[in-house]
Amino acid sequence: MQPEFWKDKRPAGVPSEIDMGGFRSVVEVFERSCKHHADRPAFSNMGVTLTYADLERHSAAFASYLQNHTDLKPGDRIAVQMPNLLQYPIAVFGALRAGLVVVNTNPLYTTREMRHQFKDSGARALVYLNTFGNAVQQVLPDTDIEFLIEAKIGDMLPALKGLLVDAAVKHVKKLVPDYSLPQAVAFKAALRDGARHSLKPVQSTLDDVAVLQYTGGTTGVAKGAMLTHGNLVANMRQVHANMQQLGDDGHPIIKEGQEVMIAPLPLYHIYAFTVNCMCMMVTGNHNVLITNPRDINGFVKELQKWRFTGFLGLNTLFVALMSHPEFKKIDFSALKGTNSGGTALVSSVADRWKSLTGVTVTEGYGLTETSPVVSANPHGEKARLGTVGLPVPGTALKVIDDEGNELPLGERGELCVKGPQVMKGYWNRPDATAEVLDAEGWLKTGDVAIIDEDGFVRIVDRKKDLIIVSGFNVYPNEIEDVVMAHPKVASCAAVGVPDERSGEVVKLFVVRSDPSLTLEELQAYCRENFTGYKIPKHYVFKDALPMTPVGKILRRELRDMA
């Protein structure tokens, strides 16, 4: 269906098209917002708030450090491996202002996963938190990384408090394993040195790659989606257009420069990256960064300090928060919207959230390859639970059969997306790009969907065997390849099974080649080789796995058994 189909289906105030004029890059959006909203708070974390003016100043210092103290050239890749700290937006916007391509890296990656991403992207610089120093030291010799910038949790805090926090992290919580990286430059020193120079503006264009965002592939090897400045500007504009929905008073529900958004989802994940880092820029709103959302006690305490108006989360997080005894003490009186993305929302969880907070959780849909937002539900009562809403303005959707023919409304088939937010392609993978992107610009999502008469979209199944754990993609092939490398494993298969907390978890079926293989040994092996969300939660030893006549494991049968 072309964008016109949805023209009369959107709520009042939301346009059908977006205007791409006016901005030539993400950097231009950023610089204009910082000027326009200079005195407003941009990001808060651990009791410190940066205004838009502060963010502009620090990111300019970071950019001029890169320009004057390294030989990095526009187009070179810089990896950023950090949880939600103030240093993250400073480093990312600084890197973009220096014309570099940001490679977002999950801080929870194992050395195997880090090695692949750094080598594949050809990153020449890395900004990391010192808690990962040991892992960085292990992978460094196998990469092209020449420049290291090391952040500490206390960097942006007042001097004495920062020292105390860093000492506690190292000596009390023992979160900094021993390592030696004498060539690393301290983040604070980089800002200090950079501030002595002035930033030399770099002209990026809408067609230049801004971010390499890694996603697992159906082949199991993580691929870098090339997201251009144009892709990110378009998606910012599309999300911003959706924010124009009018309330009963005839005014937009979302007010520019007045919203306070809680940001517990990791900024290195494309969902939070676009919504919290990018879209807030356009609107001049305020993000409260939650560094460790797994610390539910700390998270609830932080929520009690704010009169927040927006909350970006996912199923796992809603469940954990609602089970906390202090949850009822949080002030939800200003909350306008709760958005869920990254993983399917369980309806019983959404109902409970509404009864406790008074606000409906609205679901959206997106992919790394679409920067990421494809569709979103309208605000408030116009939302339709069980759907992922309507496509964002300027987006065309269609559903196709296995032969590639477009199917009529109400029929299930593979969802395809076309719009200015669709990636340029996979980094150095023309073969993989050609599999999902056709000459007309249609992207095959691999998700099975139904578009109904009113234009609302329901995701009903996955064509690929993707497993989504708390919003993170887990590819069975990757799990199986690594487990098969264990000398005592003959064959194995990974499938996703439903889980109340995280939506899905990994269940691993294993056929032993050596009967001495124990469950404990296998669990330890998986813990060593996979980041947390990829580690199988359930293990089953079997004598054989169901196979097709040509020897392909029948995952669907295993899922039915599970």
CATH code for the domain in which residue 186 is found? 3.40.50.980
Place of tokens 């029929």: 411
Which residues make Cβ contacts (< 8 Å) with residue 33, sequence separation at least 6? Answer: 52, 281, 282, 284
> Are both 500 and 442 inside the same structural domain?
no
Question: How would residue 221 be classed by pLDDT, with cut points 50, 70 and 90?
Answer: confident
For 91, 242, 304, 307, the CA distances from 258, given in Å and listed in that order, are 25, 17, 19, 11
Place of tokens 């050239």: 73
Which residues make Cβ contacts (< 8 Å) with residue 212, sequence separation at least 6? Answer: 77, 101, 102, 103, 104, 121, 224, 225, 226, 227, 427
- Helix (H) or strand (E) run with residue 185 in it: strand 185-186
Where does 367-488 show beta strands of DSSP type E? Answer: 373-376, 390-391, 396-400, 413-418, 425-426, 443-451, 457-462, 467-469, 472-474
* Confidence check: pLDDT of 333 > 90: yes
The type of residue at 529 is N
Full residue range of the structural domain in which residue 437 is found: 394-462
> Are both 451 and 507 inside the same structural domain?
no
Look up residue 378 and give its DSSP letter. Answer: P
Q: Count of domains in the chain?
A: 3
pLDDT average, residue stretch 425-449: 95
For 60, 64, 127, 422, 446, the CA distances from 185, given in Å and listed in that order, are 17, 15, 10, 36, 43
Distance CA 90, CA 98 (A): 12
Lateral strand order in the sheet of 489-499:
489-499, 503-512, 538-541
The pLDDT score that the predictor gives to residue 552 is 67
CA 518 from centroid of its chain's CA atoms: 35
Which of 415, 433, 462 is the last residue before a domain boundary?
A: 462
> Are both 39 and 97 inside the same structural domain?
yes
Question: How would residue 472 be classed by pLDDT, with cut points 50, 70 and 90?
Answer: confident
Distance CA 331, CA 48 (A): 21
Does the pTM surpass 0.75? The reply is: yes
Question: How would residue 280 be classed by pLDDT, with cut points 50, 70 and 90?
Answer: confident
pLDDT average, residue stretch 77-103: 98
Question: How would residue 64 be classed by pLDDT, with cut points 50, 70 and 90?
Answer: very high
The pLDDT score that the predictor gives to residue 217 is 44
The pLDDT score that the predictor gives to residue 548 is 61
Question: Measuring CA to CA, which residue among 97, 112, 102 is closest to residue 79?
Answer: 102
Query: Within 10 Å of residue 174's Cβ, how many Cβ atoms?
Result: 8
Question: How would residue 218 be classed by pLDDT, with cut points 50, 70 and 90?
Answer: very low
Which of 204, 233, 253 is the last residue before a domain boundary?
A: 204
At 160-192, the pLDDT tens digits run 999 999 999 999 999 999 999 999 999 999 999
Question: How would residue 460 be classed by pLDDT, with cut points 50, 70 and 90?
Answer: confident
The pLDDT score that the predictor gives to residue 259 is 95
Question: How would residue 547 be classed by pLDDT, with cut points 50, 70 and 90?
Answer: confident
pLDDT average, residue stretch 503-519: 95
Question: How would residue 220 be classed by pLDDT, with cut points 50, 70 and 90?
Answer: low
CATH code for the domain in which residue 405 is found? 2.30.38.10
Residue 219 within any structural domain of the chain: no
| Cβ-contact 80, 56 below 8 angstroms | no
CATH code for the domain in which residue 498 is found? 3.30.300.30
The pLDDT score that the predictor gives to residue 172 is 96
* Confidence check: pLDDT of 197 > 50: yes
Q: What share of the chain is helix, strand, coil (3-state, %, to 5)?
A: 35, 25, 40
| Cβ-contact 288, 306 below 8 angstroms | yes
pLDDT average, residue stretch 498-503: 88
At 367-393, the pLDDT tens digits run 999 999 999 999 988 899 889 999 999
> Are both 536 and 458 inside the same structural domain?
no
Look up residue 512 and give its DSSP letter. Answer: E
The neighbouring-strand residues paired with 406 are: 400
The pLDDT score that the predictor gives to residue 471 is 86
At 106-136, the pLDDT tens digits run 998 999 999 999 999 999 999 999 999 999 9
> Are both 471 and 458 inside the same structural domain?
no
Question: How would residue 71 be classed by pLDDT, with cut points 50, 70 and 90?
Answer: very high
> Are both 446 and 490 inside the same structural domain?
no
* Confidence check: pLDDT of 293 > 60: yes
Distance CA 463, CA 191 (A): 47
